[in-house]
Amino acid sequence: MAEGSLESIRDIIQEDIGNRGLRTDPTSNLITACAEDFAAACRSLASTPDARVAIVTGFYIPHADPPSGETDGPLGALLLARALTPLGIKVVLATDSFCQRALEIGLGATGLRKTVPLVVFPSVDQAGPMSLTDYWDTFAERAGSLTHLIALERVGPSFTPESLQSQPGSSIADVQQFLAEVLAEHHDRCHTMRGRDITASMSPAHRLFEVAARQERGIVTIGIGDGGNEIGMGKIPWSVIRRNIPNGGLVACRIPTDHLIVCGVSNWGAYGLAAGVRILRGVSLEEDLFDSEREKATLEVMVEKGPLVDGVSGLPTATVDGLSDDDYFKPLKVLQAHLAAELAPRGQNPAAK
């Protein structure tokens, strides 16, 4: 029953609502590349005793006035934290200074201020001289020991010829095509979906995932994204992202994660992950956890006092990816109904573990 429920949740969050090209090629695309990863990510979180999770979020929008963090990512991080903490899962949020105020406001609005720490990354200039180990140690001093590291709508660096050569499934033809199409100045850089280079505005949080990938720390990594340029998308072959996503060859992120959740909106991926873990734990649903009106109110206060901006328009509106409220909140409402139907008969206490 749980397996079928997880597939249903995955299908709900994977609608390509923004027409980003997630399924441009009907047989080989961003959705089909990691079809089993959503369930695997849910199982990993749900089955780990004393799980300790850091959620890395915050995406810089340079065309906003002033440039700001976007609404996709921080909002989903808060709901995921609200879903996990009652299960005894410890959660830490981590972001850049441009998202710090919005997340502080969101933590207060959701009643998480005292239970969910917020870690602010070193600036780009501060991180410049740091080694991978130094960057990790600086983070770990604040975040503590972890079992899971989640990137939620977090841009990562693009490919280089060397990283493409080492990617499983790549070919000499792929490297030649990459060199022909992507100028050297755009190698190993962080890009928006429009191809703008924002490397100088984002702390290199991908270093955390590179350290975690060494495995000796025993940390499971999860990526959540909707466009090909986010941390985790390095699990998908560069050629697949290039073929499906406009500007895909340029913006594709080279950093893989153990599990990758591709979704129509990155916040939806966080909603789906929260729902999946609840299903597997068999824990009943708090009345307001997936309530769209509460989510809208949280979004409004984060936009107003953060500020945050819509990543598509660049405007400080309480919207996500340029979607109407009906389109954006539809999956949340469907998930709420799905969870209520799945969990209500079990009669579990919300605090049950």
- Examine the pLDDT at 135 and tell me if it is beyond 50: yes
**Residue 272: how many CA atoms within 13 Å on its side-chain side?**
32
Beta-ladder partners of 90: 52
Using H for helix, E for strand and C for coil, what is the string for the chain?
Answer: CHHHHHHHHHHHHCCCCCCCCCCCCCCCCHHHHCCCHHHHHHHHHHHCCCCEEEEEECCEECCCCCCEEECCCHHHHHHHHHHHHHHCCEEEEEECHHHHHHHHHHHHHCCCCCCCCEEECCCHHHHCCCCHHHHHHHHHHHHCCCCEEEEECCECCECCHHHHHHCCCCCHHHHHHHHHHCCHHHCCCCECCCCCECHHHCCCCHHHHHHHCCCCCCCEEEEEECCCCECEECCCCHHHHHHHCCCHHHHCECCECCEEEECCCHHHHHHHHHHHHHHHHCCCCCCCCCCHHHHHHHHHHHHHHCCEECCCCCCCCCCCCCCCHHHHHHHHHHHHHHHHHHHHHHCCCCCCC
Residue range 200-204: average pLDDT?
97
The answer on pLDDT for 113 being more than 90 is yes
Q: Which of 103-107, 122-126, 336-340 has the lowest mean pLDDT?
A: 336-340
Output the pLDDT for position 151. 98
Q: Is a pLDDT exceeding 70 seen at residue 281?
A: yes
> How many Cβ atoms from other residues are within 10 Å of residue 49's Cβ?
7
Across 52-66, 102-116, 329-343, least confident range: 329-343
pLDDT one-digit tens code per residue, 338-348: 888 888 754 44
Mean pLDDT of 88-102: 98
Confidence (pLDDT) at 341: 86
Using the predicted structure, report yes or no on whether residue 353 has a pLDDT greater than 60. Answer: no
pLDDT for the residue numbered 350 = 39
Q: What are the tens digits of pLDDT across the range 68-87?
A: 999 999 999 999 999 999 99
Query: Are the C-beta atoms of residues 76 and 266 closer than 8 Å to each other?
Result: yes
Q: Is the pLDDT of residue 152 over 80?
A: yes
Domain parsing of the chain, residue ranges: 2-344
Average pLDDT on 281-296 reads 90
Query: 1 pLDDT band (50/70/90 cuts)?
Result: low
Percent of the chain, pLDDT > 90? Answer: 90
Instruction: Taking residues 313-341, report their average pLDDT.
Output: 95
What is the arithmetic mean of pLDDT over 283-289? 83
CA–CA separation, 174 and 264 (whole Å): 27
Flag whether pLDDT at 9 surpasses 50. yes
Q: What is the mean pLDDT of the chain?
A: 94
Query: What does the pLDDT read at residue 193?
Result: 94
Phi and psi angles of residue 97, each rounded to the nearest 5 degrees, phi first: -65, -30
d(CA 166, CA 213): 15
Judge contact between 121 and 154, C-beta under 8 A.
no
Euclidean distance between the first and the last CA atom of the chain, given in angstroms as a whole number: 19
Calculate the CA 40 to chain-centre distance: 16
- Is the CB of residue 66 less than 8 Å from the CB of residue 163? no
> What's the pLDDT at 345?
57
Rounded to the nearest 5 degrees, what angle is found at the Cα of 231, between the Cα atoms of 158 and 236? 75
Write down the CATH superfamily of domain 2-344. Answer: TON_0340 (3.90.1640.20)
Higher pLDDT, 344 or 310: 310
Name the residue with higher pLDDT: 217 or 340: 340
